[in-house]
Amino acid sequence: MPRKNKVTGFSDAEQPVAAPAPAAQTAMPATTPAMSVPPHSHMAVSPDAAAMAQMQAMQPYTSYPAAGMVQMQAQMMQMMQMMMGGHMGIPGVDSAAQPFSQAQAVEDKDAGLDADLIRPDQMRSVIKSQLPLPVQEVLDCLCLTEDGKCALGGIPKGCTIAFAGPPGKGKTRTAIAALCKVAYQGMRSGFVVAEEGFIDTQESGRDDLCSRLTKIGMKVLGITEANFQKTVARNLAVLLSQYHKGQTWDTFVTRYRFMVEKEGVRFVVIDSLNMLDPGKTRTADNLAALKTYNHEKGVTCLTIGQIKDTGMPVGGESLIHTADTVFLLEDMSLTSKEMAEFWGGAYRDHITVIRAVKSVTTPIFPYPLRVDYDKESGVLKVHALQPKQYQILPPMPAQ
CA distance 224 to 290: 35
Residue of 27, 283, 303 whose CA lies nearest to 172: 303
Contact assessment for residue 145 and residue 389, using Cβ atoms and an 8 Å cutoff: no
pTM: predicted TM-score of the whole model, two decimal places: 0.74
pLDDT of residue 277: 83
Q: What is the mean pLDDT of residues 21-44?
A: 44
Return mean pLDDT, the chain.
83
pLDDT of residue 43: 42
Q: Helix, strand, or coil here: 290?
A: helix
Contact assessment for residue 8 and residue 64, using Cβ atoms and an 8 Å cutoff: yes
* Strand order across the 236-240 sheet: 236-240, 189-193, 267-271, 300-305, 160-164, 325-333, 350-359, 369-373, 380-382
Contact assessment for residue 272 and residue 194, using Cβ atoms and an 8 Å cutoff: yes
Q: How confident is the model at residue 56 (pLDDT cuts 50, 70, 90)?
A: low
Q: Is the pLDDT higher at 310 or at 212?
A: 212
pLDDT of residue 39: 44
pLDDT of residue 47: 47
Of 102-116, 202-216, 297-311, 335-349, the poorest mean pLDDT is in: 102-116
CA distance 349 to 341: 11
Residue of 193, 195, 198, 220 whose CA lies nearest to 209: 198
Contact assessment for residue 164 and residue 304, using Cβ atoms and an 8 Å cutoff: yes
CA distance 237 to 297: 17
Please report, as a single letter, which amino acid is at residue 52.
M
pLDDT of residue 358: 97
Per-residue exposure over 34-47, b if at least 16 CB sit within 10 Å of its own CB, e if not? bbbbeeeeeeebee
Of 9-23, 146-160, 171-185, the poorest mean pLDDT is in: 9-23
Contact assessment for residue 326 and residue 320, using Cβ atoms and an 8 Å cutoff: yes
Cross-strand pairs, 395? 151
Q: What is the mean pLDDT of residues 119-137?
A: 92
φ and ψ at residue 288, rounded to 5 degrees: -65, -45
pLDDT of residue 42: 42
Please report, as a single letter, which amino acid is at residue 356.
A
pLDDT of residue 280: 74
Q: What is the mean pLDDT of residues 115-126?
A: 84
pLDDT single digits (tens) 58-91: 554 444 455 556 566 666 776 666 655 544 555 6
Q: What is the mean pLDDT of residues 11-18?
A: 52
**Residue 399 CA: distances (Å) to CA of 156, 386, 396:** 16, 29, 9
Span between the terminal Cα atoms of the chain, in Å: 99
pLDDT of residue 38: 45
Residue of 336, 328, 370 whose CA lies nearest to 352: 370
Q: What is the mean pLDDT of residues 108-124?
A: 78
Q: How confident is the model at residue 4 (pLDDT cuts 50, 70, 90)?
A: low
Please check the confidence at residue 3 and state whether its pLDDT lies above 80. no
Q: How confident is the model at residue 121 (pLDDT cuts 50, 70, 90)?
A: confident
Residue of 344, 291, 340 whose CA lies nearest to 320: 291
CA distance 206 to 219: 20
pLDDT single digits (tens) 39-52: 444 444 444 555 55
pLDDT of residue 245: 79
| Domains of the chain by start residue, with CATH | 132-390 (3.40.50.300)
Q: Is the pLDDT higher at 49 or at 275?
A: 275
Q: Is the pLDDT higher at 144 or at 42?
A: 144
Residues for the chain: how many in total? 399
Among positive and negative, which fits the CA dihedral 393, 139, 220, 344?
negative
Please check the confidence at residue 129 and state whether its pLDDT lies above 50. yes
pLDDT of residue 102: 61
pLDDT single digits (tens) 326-354: 999 999 999 999 999 999 999 999 999 99
Contact assessment for residue 214 and residue 174, using Cβ atoms and an 8 Å cutoff: no
Of 9-23, 221-235, 266-280, the poorest mean pLDDT is in: 9-23
pLDDT single digits (tens) 196-255: 889 999 999 999 999 999 999 999 999 999 999 999 999 999 999 987 777 888 999 999
Per cent of the chain over pLDDT 70 is: 73
